[in-house]
Amino acid sequence: MRILEIKDEKRAQRELQKLGADPQGVTLMAPKAVFRAVRLKKVRSVSANILKQEMLSLGGEAATSYGAINLSSKYTPLLITGTLKQFRQLIAKLKIHQFGLPRIAETLEQSLKNYDQSPPPIKIGPRTLRFGQRTYIMGILNVTPDSFSDGGKFHKLEDALSQAHRLIAAGADIIDIGGESTRPGAKNVPVHEELKRVIPVISALRKKKILISIDTRKAAVAEAALSAGAHIINDISALRHDPRMAKVAAKYKVPVILMHMLKNPKTMQKNPVYKDLIFDIMTYFQESLEIAGRAGIKENRLIIDPGFGFGKTVEHNLEILKRLKEFKVLGRPILIGTSRKSTIGKILSLPPSERLMGTAATVAIAISNGVDIIRVHDVAAMKKAAKMTDAIVRRL
Ligand code: 7PM
């Protein structure tokens, strides 16, 4: 005998076909071969109890807190477990209930769908990023005098451009240009200084086929960069640092990378604490998605990034990589930047210049766990790591 790992319905269908089940049987049995465990953060106890009864009657389960059973607490978290078939039946039943259950049904339905699908493509200028087909590579171009791994080598325009051309030649899909160091504890860079660093580089690269993202928290810098030819905003504050940022993104109709960070670059590494790491980050994303929506940014232009290293301990960063797939329920493309970061340095006891293999391991795991875009310094090396991992992971 063998034990199979059946992670989704497509895989289940193929296993059933291989064994010679009739086509109708395949359709009927595949949803019974896939198991899901769904966590809801906070549900009214009355609703939770009804949901539990319904799921029990379908042969599944829904665990609540003890206080929800005797209604001593008004709200409870929920862990619903069952097969896709049971979830589908549960959703159908909840839709005709009251007590907020139809809304829970909608969320369940959308989340389960998002988890099993690739996010919709994003059109950026002349290009379309089709997610799921392969991993896209964002090459880092620091134009700060104090960037930790390039030691400010690329401060001058010529150096920056030759580095950009190396990234392009190595196969980068996007070049991320940043003139504001976000090193923990770094000083704020004035707008005019940030502009002086990034605009000449963007102007020089705009004729190239490459996509350009502007790594900034400032609306004025983003707007100047977009006018100069940048295609994407990479905002490590997820539209929270500068209240005008969302408006600029809406005006230029560009994709925005929403990165999670605890507090700000000055304070983020001082004893970061989470109630529930993944839930806290997801709630943060949800709030930023709402800020974006209110400003008129189309939902399908938003990319999420858990912010590896931004207000996280080594343990937090490892947990994010291991559980990255959980962010898929939001239905947005996922980007991650682990390149040469201190978590790798701490585990391997190595300086930034020797973190290439450690970075490659994080890239492989991130791809295996559903990432769409990786942000890296070493494009040529990580392109190979990504291509190899894609060949293993992105197949039927
Ligand atoms: C000092 C400390 C210098 C940290 C540079 C860094 C990310 C990012 C950065 C990321 C997105 C680095 C970071 N990291 N943008 N910008 N995601 N979206 O190591 O993880 O490059 S700066």
**The pLDDT of residue 185:** 64
Is there a single domain that holds both residue 128 and residue 157? Answer: yes
DSSP code at position 311: S
Q: Where a domain ends, among 115, 146, 161?
A: 115
Same domain, 45 and 102: yes
| From 93, 301, 375, 383, the catalytic residue | 375
Task: Indicate if 246 and 208 belong to the same structural domain.
Answer: yes
Q: Domain ends where: 72, 94, 115?
A: 115
Please indicate, yes or no, if residue 10 is contained in any of the structural domains. no
The CATH number of residue 74's host domain is 3.30.1370
If you measure from the C-alpha of residue 352 to the centroid of ligand 1, how many angstroms do you get, rounded to a whole number? Answer: 13
User: Is residue 1, in this structure, part of any structural domain at all?
Assistant: no
* 13 lies in some domain: no
The reply to whether 325 belongs to the active site is no
pLDDT at 152: 53
Atom of ligand 1 nearest to the CA of 308: 20
Q: Name the packing angle between helices 277-295 and 314-322 (round to 10°).
A: 70
Query: Any residues with Cβ below 6 Å from ligand 1, and which?
Result: 140, 147-148, 181-183, 215, 234, 236, 257, 259, 305, 307-308, 335, 337, 341, 375
**One domain, residues 162 and 48:** no
Instruction: Please give the single-letter amino acid code of residue 272.
Output: P
Domain-located, residue 181: yes
CA distances from 378 to 27, 184, 291 (A): 45, 22, 33
| Domain co-membership, 109 together with 140 | no
Of these residues, 328, 341, 355, 383, which one is catalytic?
341
Nearest C-alpha to atom 19 of ligand 1 is from which residue? 341
CA-closest residue to ligand 1 atom 17? 337
How far is CA 1 from its chain centroid?
38
Q: How far is the CA of 335 from the centre of ligand 1 (A)?
A: 12
Tell me the C-alpha to C-alpha distance, in Å, between residue 26 and each of 19, 66, 89, 395. 10, 39, 18, 20
Q: Which structural domain, as residue segments, surrounds residue 148?
A: 122-393
CA of 333 relative to ligand 1 center, distance in Å: 18
375 labelled catalytic: yes
- For residues 137 and 214, membership in a common domain is answered with yes
pLDDT mean values, one per 10 residues, the chain (396 residues)? 97 97 98 98 96 98 96 97 98 93 98 98 93 98 70 70 96 96 74 94 95 97 98 97 97 98 83 95 97 97 98 98 98 98 98 98 98 98 98 92
Q: What is the helix (H) or strand (E) element at residue 257, kind and residue range?
A: strand 256-259
- In-domain check, residue 103: yes
182 touches 199 (CB < 8 A): no
Is 354 within a domain?
A: yes
Name the closest-CA residue to atom 1, ligand 1: 183
Q: 178 and 83 share a domain? A: no
Q: Which of 115, 138, 165 finishes a domain?
A: 115
CA 181 to CA 200: how far, in whole Å? 18
Q: Do residues 173 and 314 share a domain?
A: yes
Both 126 and 111 in a single domain?
A: no
Q: Which residue, judged by its Cα, is nearest atom 22 of ligand 1?
A: 182
CATH code, domain carrying 311:
3.20.20.20
Our count of domains for the chain comes to: 2
> Within this chain, do residues 94 and 136 fall inside the same structural domain, yes or no?
no
In a domain, 185, yes or no: yes
Query: Does residue 175 sit within a domain?
Result: yes
Taking the CA atoms of residue 183, residue 355, residue 170 and residue 160 in that order, the dihedral angle to the nearest 10 degrees is 30
Domain identity same for 177 and 204: yes
Beta-carbon contacts of residue 119 (< 8 Å; ≥ 6 apart): 131, 132, 331, 332, 333, 372
Together in a domain, 76 and 175: no
